[in-house]
Amino acid sequence: MTSNMGRSVGFFSNTFWSIYNFRRSLIKQLIAEGYTVYAISTNDKYRPLLEEIGCKTVVIKSFDVQSTAVLKEARVIRQITRTLRSLPCEYIYTFTIKPNLYTALTTFLTGKKAILTVNGLGNVFSEGNMISRISLKLFKLAFKRAHRVFFQNRDDYFFFKEKISLDENKVSFVRGSGVNTDEFVVSVKPSLPGDRLIFLLACRLLKEKGVYEYIAAARRIKAKYPDVQFWLLGMEAKNPSAIPLNEIKKYADEGTISLLEKTDNVNGLLEKTDVMVLPSFYNEGIPRILLEGLSKGLPVITTDSVGCRETVIDERNGYMIEPRNVDSLENAFHRMIELPVAERDAMRRESRRLAEAEFNEEKVIEHYISIIREAEPVIDQFTVNAVGAR
């Protein structure tokens, strides 16, 4: 390793937004240790925010996460190859599907070491169509060429282990992207009676996130508890299963939900929230918004689904519900509303305990940085359980 390349690291993701929001603490730590950090993505308003914290940015103009056009993707891969080859980085961290694939598949051309994170599988493999089959073959080759592959949950690991051979010497585990428990401190909002609770769903507007189930259950609950509020912070998405924002607005107009404006102050929003909700049946990694809710000491209602189930101990810090089941979600809302304040406060304490013990981002950062320090990755109990259990 040359001294120049050894002190430079790249981050490649779908957006600068995702790099800034999900990897900012890792980047800051690397910069503090003397590394030069490059962020690589399409241009958006978060690019200057990354530059403000000392990160160099590189724009790949033609990158389109939704494109499946062969000729267009071939041109993008050539641009990515030229870009990565030109950077003085030995290691490139990637966190989303296309950057994972394209970075690993071009390592023989770029000379880089790709550190991949499987941050959930989304709906790539849910249909079982030609794109799914092609993607699986590409992942098999990508994992073979990657320097290290991180998984965020057991389900994704076992999915790939069953479908393709994995080099266990390359596999590591992290507990999602982690959460800064010093930034997301326990909410000081006083506990309210159940019939005045504020529930919050914050997600991309995709059908698989359980948006329609949330609205349907909210409508039923408000018929009995009109003062209960159901907030929705919905981010528009480019995806075949995306829900148009205009369609969601009609439910706000009828009073079922409160549709919130976009905000960069998620911490402040969670300070006003009583219960965190994510009725997702999307193939998640471990959703960052749930980790932030845990750190704020919020009870959680989420599904017994990939990635989500990692964040809730049923009836201790919230309720685990059946995916795609409006009745199950309604029942969880009802139980939370009827729960005595003292028991809800006990759930709040358990959520915070989980955040501190299981999801503190300092552990995640140490895992990632250990790779480029050429040290063995940190092995914790989760790693042992994830590899050994089935």
Residue-level pLDDT, tens digit, the chain, 390 residues: 334 455 899 999 999 999 999 999 999 999 999 999 999 999 999 999 999 999 999 999 888 777 777 788 899 999 999 999 999 999 999 998 899 999 999 999 999 999 999 987 776 676 667 777 888 898 999 999 999 999 998 888 988 998 888 889 999 998 888 999 999 999 999 888 899 999 999 999 999 999 999 999 999 999 999 999 999 999 888 788 899 999 999 999 999 999 999 898 999 999 999 999 999 998 888 999 999 999 999 999 999 999 999 999 999 999 999 999 999 999 999 999 999 999 999 999 999 999 999 999 998 999 899 888 864 344 444 443 443 333
Q: What is the pLDDT of residue 67?
A: 74
Which pLDDT score is estimated for 5?
57
Q: Residues with Cβ < 8 Å from 384, sequence gap 6 or more?
A: none
- Report the pLDDT value the prediction gives residue 3, as an integer from 0 to 100: 43
Look at residue 124 in the predicted model and tell me its pLDDT.
67
Helix (H) or strand (E) holding 225: none
For the chain, what's the residue count?
390
CA distance 258 to 309: 26
Order of strands, edge to edge, in the sheet holding 8-15?
56-59, 36-42, 8-15, 91-94, 113-118, 148-151, 171-173
Question: What pLDDT score was predicted for residue 377?
Answer: 41
C-alpha distance across the termini of the chain, in Å: 38
Q: How far apart are CA 232 and CA 240, in angstroms?
A: 21
CA-to-CA distance for 259 and 262, rounded, in angstroms?
10
What does the pLDDT read at residue 126? 64
pLDDT score of 381: 43
Return the closest-CA partner of residue 152 out of 354, 379, 310. 310
- Going by C-alpha positions, the residue among 330, 317, 340 that lies closest to residue 225 is 330
Give the C-alpha separation, 56 to 120, whole Å. 27
Judge whether 99 and 18 are in contact, CB under 8 Å.
no
Closest residue by Cα to residue 228 from 338, 337, 344 = 337
H or E segment and range at residue 223:
helix 211-224
* Residue 363 and residue 378 in contact, taking contact as beta carbons nearer than 8 Å: yes
Rounded distance, CA 207 to CA 243, Å? 7
Is 103:92 a contact under the CB 8 Å cutoff? yes
Number of H helices, E strands in the chain: 16, 13
Q: CA-CA distance, 354 to 152, in Å (whole number)?
A: 16
Which pLDDT tens digit goes with each residue over 279-331?
Answer: 999 888 899 999 999 999 999 999 999 999 999 999 999 999 999 999 999 99
Number of other CB atoms surrounding residue 162 within 10 Å: 8
The answer to whether 336 and 301 have CB atoms below 8 angstroms apart is yes
Q: pLDDT at position 270, please? A: 97
pLDDT at 374: 66
Q: Which helix (H) or strand (E) holds 38?
A: strand 36-42
Q: In what order do the strands lie in the sheet with 258-259?
A: 258-259, 229-235, 198-204, 275-278, 300-303, 318-321
Say if CB 13 and CB 94 are below 8 A apart. Answer: yes
pTM score, whole prediction: 0.87
